[in-house]
Amino acid sequence: MDSIWTRDCALPSHPRLTGELSVDAAVIGGGMAGLLTAYFLQKQGLRTVVLEADTVASGQTAGTTAKITAAHGLRYTRLADDWGWETAERYAHAMTQAIESFARVIEYENIDCDFSRRPMFLYSTSDPQSMRREAEAAARAGLDARFTKETGLPFAVAGAVRVSGQAQFHPLRFLRAIAEQLTIYEHSRVREVSSSRLTTDGGAVSARHIVFACHFPFVNRPGYYFLRMHQERSYVLAIEGAPPLEGMYWGADQGSLAIRQAGSAILLSGAGHRTGENRAGGSYDRMRRTAARWWPDVREAAHWSAQDCIPMDGLPYIGRYAADEPGWYVATGFQKWGMTGAMAAATRICGLILGRDTADTELFSPTRFALSPSADTMLADGLEAARGLTRPWFEPPRALLSALPDGHGGIVEHEGKKAAVSKDKDGNVTVHRCRCTHLGCQIEWNPDDRAWECPCHGSRFAEDGRVLAGPAQRGLDEEN
């Protein structure tokens, strides 16, 4: 399912890596985080290459809604509660700097990408108190934030936080201009990483500095990112025909939607769930019903979905990958705020590589181990993954193949074995092994996207078994 960005912005193609290269820095992943990091490194004079498994910006960045903001949900109340005010202030400062860095790059490179300054509104239709608390926390952390009930939305809110000076853009037009300046290899999945060498199917790169900007880091040890993150998927509906909206919006209530204008369309996003836990489906239909309630005469222009990594303690992982691999860096855990997150990562990783630690290096450091009061979330996360790894293997298949309706998928008994089976609308059957190729959890069918998903760490596979998203790097039928 194409997003409105991919529909109206084709990116030039790049060659596959063949042979051997030696560079200063190699970036794994050509999404927002990878391209920005490569851009800054190259501007600093480092010979840099980007290795992309598929095509540039074809990952989660293609499905973003591209609000460039420091107002990340009810973040400042949580940061202040869990980590204290100094952390909340540093976070606000880092994300505000990231907005200004986008503005500077866009101006400097003269990029036509619909960049526009907008206020960001966090809203609730039921809980004004949490909005008041967040307005106070965000203002105390340093944002230009205030409580209001005036939002411009087509429904009344009980309260909202208005944050000025935020922005939005067309992410792919921006990245097209950035990518033009870089050396990029597409269809070049990195299969192995040793201390200073990366191997793809067609070639190899030696690099003093290696940046994992591949969304979910796929090297399990060292780093152990699979123990400290899961992924959450959300759905986006683009509609035409509604009156234009001034602001960008994020709903705090259960089931509420994020909203922004994008050209003549309005994007609604939400219906989020842990990846691999959407067996019931119906996400797009629920959003269509909501849109029709707010604006009865609109028509659908597009729909798509994407996912992001959710770290267990509320802060992204930006910095050194692991203590015992000093030349490796990572940018991940953006919690659906990966525009400012990617910019913050790119500038910080570039600073680290050049030997310039910033004051907040420690704040985002992946090697931080201070346990915040959110440690209960960590425990819950770990338990969920552990349950995913073990439980379904003791469950029998959910049905016989014959009981699976046409047009559906599921874990069924096929030829005496448990298998992942999908049927098209004419009843043609596709069969795969039902083990995720990352660490072996049982995959689940997502009826909204007709894809297989792993509830443990969020890997995704197409109906034909190809990898759509990591940490898994092999298709369902590929041998180790």
> In the complex, which residues of this chain contact ligand FAD (CB under 6 A)?
28-34, 51-54, 58-61, 63-67, 189-190, 213-215, 218, 234, 236, 269, 306-308, 334, 336-342, 470, 473
Query: Which of ligand FAD, ligand FES, none does residue 131 bind (CB under 5 to 8 Å by kind)?
Result: none
Closest approach of ligand FAD to the CB of residue 144, in Å: 18
Kindly state whether residue 217 participates in binding ligand FES, applying the rule CB under 6 A.
Answer: no
Residue nearer to ligand FES on the CB measure, 168 or 231: 231
Closest approach of ligand FAD to the CB of residue 383, in Å: 24
Phi/psi of residue 247, nearest 5 degrees: -105, -175
H or E stretch including 80?
Answer: helix 75-83
Residue nearer to ligand FES on the CB measure, 160 or 309: 309
Residue nearer to ligand FAD on the CB measure, 182 or 236: 236
Closest approach of ligand FES to the CB of residue 458, in Å: 6
- Burial zone of 104 (CB within 10 Å; 0-12 exposed, 13-18 middle, 19+ buried): exposed
Binding residues for ligand FES restricted to 447-476, rule: CB under 6 A: 454, 456-459, 471-472
- For ligand FES, the binding residue among 75, 118, 215, 438 (CB under 6 A) is 438
Closest approach of ligand FAD to the CB of residue 256, in Å: 14
Collect all residues with Cβ–Cβ distance below 8 Å to 424 and sequence separation of at least 6. Answer: 406, 407, 430
Per-residue CA distances from 264 to 71, 306, 339 (Å): 24, 22, 22
Closest approach of ligand FES to the CB of residue 385, in Å: 8
- Sign of the dihedral defined by the CA atoms of residues 120, 122, 128, 132, in that order: negative
Q: How many residues bind ligand FES (CB under 6 A)?
A: 13
Query: Which of ligand FAD, ligand FES, none does residue 473 bind (CB under 5 to 8 Å by kind)?
Result: ligand FAD
Binding residues for ligand FES restricted to 132-191, rule: CB under 6 A: none
Taking residue 419's Cβ as centre, other Cβ atoms within 10 Å add up to 18
Q: Length of the chain in residues, anyone? A: 480
- Per-state percent for the chain, helix, strand, coil, to nearest 5: 30, 30, 40
In eight-state DSSP terms, residue 442 is B
Residue nearer to ligand FES on the CB measure, 161 or 472: 472
3-state secondary structure of 411: strand
Please write down the long-range contacts of 80-86, taking CB distance under 8 Å and 24 or more positions apart: 80/137, 80/140, 80/141, 81/373, 82/313, 82/314, 82/372, 82/373, 82/374, 83/314, 83/315, 83/372, 85/140, 85/141
Per-residue CA distances from 185 to 57, 60, 182, 190 (Å): 12, 18, 10, 11
Closest approach of ligand FAD to the CB of residue 230, in Å: 13
Closest approach of ligand FAD to the CB of residue 394, in Å: 31
H or E stretch including 106?
Answer: helix 85-108
Which pair of tokens denotes residue 348?
């910080």
Residue nearer to ligand FES on the CB measure, 171 or 333: 333
Taking residue 291's Cβ as centre, other Cβ atoms within 10 Å add up to 22
E strand intervals along 312-408:
317-320, 328-332, 399-400
Which residues, listed in sequence order, are joined to residue 19 by a DSSP beta bridge?
Answer: 203
Query: Which of ligand FES, ligand FAD, none does residue 160 bind (CB under 5 to 8 Å by kind)?
Result: none
Identify which of 253, 307, 252 has the alpha carbon closest to the alpha carbon of residue 278: 307
Residue nearer to ligand FAD on the CB measure, 78 or 303: 303
Residue nearer to ligand FES on the CB measure, 121 or 445: 445
Which residues, listed in sequence order, are joined to residue 111 by a DSSP beta bridge?
Answer: none
Residue nearer to ligand FAD on the CB measure, 134 or 392: 134
Query: Which of ligand FES, ligand FAD, none does residue 457 bind (CB under 5 to 8 Å by kind)?
Result: ligand FES
Taking residue 421's Cβ as centre, other Cβ atoms within 10 Å add up to 22
Query: Which of ligand FAD, ligand FES, none does residue 436 bind (CB under 5 to 8 Å by kind)?
Result: ligand FES
Binding residues for ligand FES restricted to 226-285, rule: CB under 6 A: 226
Query: Which of ligand FAD, ligand FES, none does residue 444 bind (CB under 5 to 8 Å by kind)?
Result: none
Cβ pair 143, 71 in contact under 8 A: yes
Query: Which of ligand FAD, ligand FES, none does residue 189 bind (CB under 5 to 8 Å by kind)?
Result: ligand FAD
Taking contact as CB under 6 A, which single stretch among the options 77-85, 87-95, 153-161, 431-439 is the one that binds ligand FES?
A: 431-439
Query: Which of ligand FAD, ligand FES, none does residue 456 bind (CB under 5 to 8 Å by kind)?
Result: ligand FES
Query: Which of ligand FES, ligand FAD, none does residue 446 bind (CB under 5 to 8 Å by kind)?
Result: none
Per-residue CA distances from 293 to 45, 286, 296, 299, 341 (Å): 54, 11, 6, 12, 33
Residues near ligand FES (CB under 6 A) are: 226, 436, 438-441, 454, 456-459, 471-472
